[in-house]
Structure 1
């Protein structure tokens, strides 16, 4: 024991101690809740049995109940639309901004910094801002669309079943675009400039240089961004709570918000845990893709 303490004091093995502490932290605050959630998805758990571990074993009954629920298909459809639209929107706008900021012009650094404001803001604050923008009677968005002649009357973004999900998607795209822009800017900065100069001397135009140099060299970065985008989008809860609360008529309800509703409104913690397990599986798949992308980038 004295040798271990003296070794740590001298700096020998201190890195191992740091790793052990980090692993212990992850096991306590991430591993145990994860295992607890998975176990709970195979049990019958309500508000009366939540505080005890003596719960009836339910097998796959909770999973069958989730799949048989009438709103399962609409919720999963909304979830897929939300994920795909958010990732595509964030990536396209983020890539466009990253390419724009490769240009050398005065104030580019300050302007790039302003775009990070959306990323550091809490989701509930962003939701409150977009609530004001989406307001049907006095919202800024309706005012701008009317002035441009694109709409004849007000659109009630938060309470119309045709627009409620898209209202959250727009807010989420705005929230995550700056993150995509920063990562893509780093990827673009790592591409050697002489490749573009050589292609330009060979007569390649801007579009040809983009398709033959930029995209191939950014493949690993793009894969990592898409994987991270999937993880962050599946974790998005605040915007739904602040803007639509999953309504109206479940038109903007997604898996993560449905899990919260089952657990904390209907007190069906087992089914809420079941949805969480299904989401964890998707996050793990995205994490594997992300790790493989980063490994490819390091090897390249």
Structure 2
């Protein structure tokens, strides 16, 4: 102990403390709750035994009963649709905007900065805004669709089971598009302009330059953007709480909101923990893809 204190006073152990303190903080604030959550998924836990560490051990029963439940597969299907549609919409629109601003025009940097407003806004605020936009009686979206002749009557986006999930998807695409745009803009800025000039001299049109230069040079950036989008979309909770609350009749319910509902509304903490563990596995997979993409980008 005296030796450790001496090394800290002499500055030789400063690097150990610099790394050890943050790691200890992460373990206490993130590692322990994660381990506790995994432990609960293998136990029988209710509101009376939540504060106890010693509880009946049920093994894989919670996972078996979860997948045997009738509502599990429709909710997992909703989750897959939400992930696929949100990530595809955010990426396509974000990429189009990144290419648009990459061309360059007066005021492009200022206008691009305005798009970040949606990303920095809290999710509940975004949900409240989209509640007004998606209102069936006086919403802006219905008004625009009626005026353009696309619909003849109002669509009740939040209360109609056919549209409720898409209401949240639309809001989530709006929320995440600017983040995709900024990351893709950074990737585009790293492509040498000389490649496009040489390809243009060789007679390549704009689409050929896009497929032969832009996409290959952006491969690692695209992988990072998609994997980050998967991580953030799996964590999206606020929009569901603010717009549909998972309803009606679970038509817009997804895994992340279902885990909260099971734990804090139904007080089935074991089932909520089980759903959370399954989601953690998917997030860890997406994180590995992200790390691999960024490593490829660094090493070229």
Other-structure match for 2:64 = 64
Give the Cα separation in 2 of the matches to 1:7 and 1:132. Answer: 61
Other-structure match for 1:210 = 210
Give the Cα separation in 1 of the matches to 2:249 and 2:108. Answer: 45
Query: Please, what is the CA RMSD of the aligned residues?
Result: 1.2
Q: After TM superposition, where is structure 1 displaced by more than 2 Å over at least 4 residues in a row?
A: 1-16
The count of corresponding residues between Structure 1 and Structure 2 is 300
Give the Cα separation in 1 of the matches to 2:91 and 2:176. Answer: 9
TM-score (norm 1): 0.97
Q: Deviations over 1:237-259 (max 9, x none)?
A: 00000000000010000001111
Unpaired runs of 5+ in structure 1? none
Q: Deviations over 1:43-92 (max 9, x none)?
A: 00000000111210011111011101110010000000000000000000
Give the Cα separation in 2 of the matches to 1:11 and 1:118. Answer: 45
Give the Cα separation in 1 of the matches to 2:222 and 2:194. Answer: 22
Give the Cα separation in 2 of the matches to 1:196 and 1:184. Answer: 18
Give the Cα separation in 2 of the matches to 1:288 and 1:274. Answer: 22
Other-structure match for 2:22 = 22
Other-structure match for 2:260 = 260
Other-structure match for 1:233 = 233
Give the Cα separation in 2 of the matches to 1:5 and 1:197. Answer: 62
Give the Cα separation in 2 of the matches to 1:24 and 1:170. Answer: 40
- 1:1-300 alignment, distance < 5 Å: 4-5=4-5, 7-8=7-8, 11-300=11-300
Give the Cα separation in 2 of the matches to 1:183 and 1:15. Answer: 32
Give the Cα separation in 2 of the matches to 1:54 and 1:73. Answer: 32
Give the Cα separation in 1 of the matches to 2:82 and 2:127. Answer: 16
1:98 to partner: Cα distance: 0.3
1:11 to partner: Cα distance: 4.6
Unpaired runs of 5+ in structure 2? none
1:8 to partner: Cα distance: 4.2
Give the Cα separation in 2 of the matches to 1:5 and 1:73. Answer: 57
SS of match in other structure, 2:103: coil
1:182 to partner: Cα distance: 0.4
1:103 to partner: Cα distance: 1.7
1:5 to partner: Cα distance: 4.8
Moved more, 214-223 or 18-27: 18-27
TM-score (norm 2): 0.97
